[in-house]
Structure 1
Amino acid sequence: MLTPSLVQTLLVDVTQHPRGQAHLSAASGLVRVRQRLYVVADDELHLGIFDDCTAVGMVPTPGTLLRLLDGDLPQDKSKRKKAKPDFESLVLLPPLPGCPAGALLALGSGSRPNRETGVLVALDVQGMPNGRMGLVDLAPLYAPLHKRFADVNIEGALIVSGELLLLQRGNKGDGRSACIRFDWNLVAPWLAGQKAQPPAAKSIQVIPLGEVDGVPLGFTDGAALHGGAWIFSAVAEDTDNSVQDGACVGSVIGIVAPDGQVSQLYPLQGAPKVEGIAVQADGAGWQVTLATDPDDPKVPSALLQLRVPGIQS
Structure 2
Amino acid sequence: MKATWREIGRLAWRDIETQTVHPLSAGSGLVAAAGALWVAADDMHHVVRLPENGDLIGDGYRIFPGDLPEDAKERKRVKPDTECLIALETNGADGILLALPSGSKRHRVRGAEIQVREGVVRASREIDLSPLLKSLDEEIPDLNIEGGAIMGDKVVLLQRGNGKAGFNALIEFDLDRLGAWLHGGDGRRFKPRIAEMRLPKMGGVRLTFTDAAVHEGALYFAAAAEGGDSTYDDGKIIGSAIGRIDKEPDILIEIEGQKVEGLAHASSDADRLTFFAVTDADDPARASSLLEIGMARFR
Query: 2:224 matched to 1:235?
Result: yes
- 2:154 alignment partner, one of 144, 163, 169: 163
The alignment yields a C-alpha RMSD, in angstroms, of 2.1
Query: 2:234 matched to 1:245?
Result: yes
Identical pairs, percent: 34
Measure how far apart 1:176 and its partner are: 1.6
User: Residues 274 and 293 of structure 1 are in contact (CA less than 8 Å); yes or no, is this contact kept in structure 2?
Assistant: yes
- Using structure 2 for the length normalisation, give the TM-score: 0.91
User: Residues 28 and 262 of structure 2 are in contact (CA less than 8 Å); yes or no, is this contact kept in structure 1?
Assistant: yes
Assess, with a 3 A threshold, how the Cα gap between structure 1 residues 15 and 197 changes in structure 2: closer, same or farther.
closer
- 2:255 alignment partner, one of 269, 285, 293: 269
Q: Which residue of 2 aligns with 1:51?
A: 51
CA distance in structure 2 between the partners assigned to 1:168 and 1:67 by the alignment? 26
Instruction: Give the residue type in structure 2 aligned to 1:281.
Output: S
- Using structure 1 for the length normalisation, give the TM-score: 0.87
CA-to-aligned-CA distance 1:85-108 (integer Å, 9 cap, x gap): 00010110038xxxxx64101111
Q: Which residue of 2 aligns with 1:207?
A: 197
CA distance in structure 2 between the partners assigned to 1:14 and 1:162 by the alignment? 35
Q: Which residue of 2 aligns with 1:176?
A: 167
For the residue of structure 1 that corresponds to 2:238, the secondary structure is strand
Instruction: Give the residue type in structure 2 aligned to 1:92.
Output: A
Measure how far apart 1:172 and its partner are: 5.3
Query: 2:104 matched to 1:111?
Result: yes
Measure how far apart 1:14 and its partner are: 6.7
Q: Which residue of 2 aligns with 1:223?
A: 213
Instruction: Give the residue type in structure 2 aligned to 1:128.
Output: V
Greater strand content = 2
Specify every segment of 5 or more residues in structure 2 that has no aligned partner in the other structure, as ranges: none
How many residues matched?
294
User: Residues 31 and 38 of structure 2 are in contact (CA less than 8 Å); yes or no, is this contact kept in structure 1?
Assistant: yes
User: Residues 279 and 289 of structure 1 are in contact (CA less than 8 Å); yes or no, is this contact kept in structure 2?
Assistant: yes
For the residue of structure 2 that corresponds to 1:205, the secondary structure is strand
Specify every segment of 5 or more residues in structure 1 that has no aligned partner in the other structure, as ranges: 96-100
CA distance in structure 1 between the partners assigned to 2:238 and 2:32 by the alignment? 28
User: Residues 17 and 65 of structure 1 are in contact (CA less than 8 Å); yes or no, is this contact kept in structure 2?
Assistant: no
1:1-313 aligned within 5 A: 2-13=3-14, 22-53=22-53, 58=54, 60-94=55-89, 102-124=95-117, 126-129=118-121, 131-171=122-162, 173-193=164-184, 195-197=185-187, 199-227=189-217, 229-257=218-246, 260-262=247-249, 264-283=250-269, 284-311=271-298
User: Residues 103 and 144 of structure 2 are in contact (CA less than 8 Å); yes or no, is this contact kept in structure 1?
Assistant: yes
For the residue of structure 2 that corresponds to 1:148, the secondary structure is coil
Q: Which residue of 2 aligns with 1:98?
A: none
Measure how far apart 1:12 and its partner are: 2.0
For the residue of structure 2 that corresponds to 1:91, the secondary structure is strand
User: Residues 206 and 225 of structure 2 are in contact (CA less than 8 Å); yes or no, is this contact kept in structure 1?
Assistant: yes
CA distance in structure 2 between the partners assigned to 1:6 and 1:49 by the alignment? 19
Measure how far apart 1:37 and its partner are: 0.9
Moved over 6 A (4+): none
Assess, with a 3 A threshold, how the Cα gap between structure 1 residues 226 and 61 changes in structure 2: closer, same or farther.
closer
CA distance in structure 2 between the partners assigned to 1:292 and 1:298 by the alignment? 14
Measure how far apart 1:147 and its partner are: 1.7
User: Residues 92 and 103 of structure 1 are in contact (CA less than 8 Å); yes or no, is this contact kept in structure 2?
Assistant: yes
For the residue of structure 2 that corresponds to 1:189, the secondary structure is helix
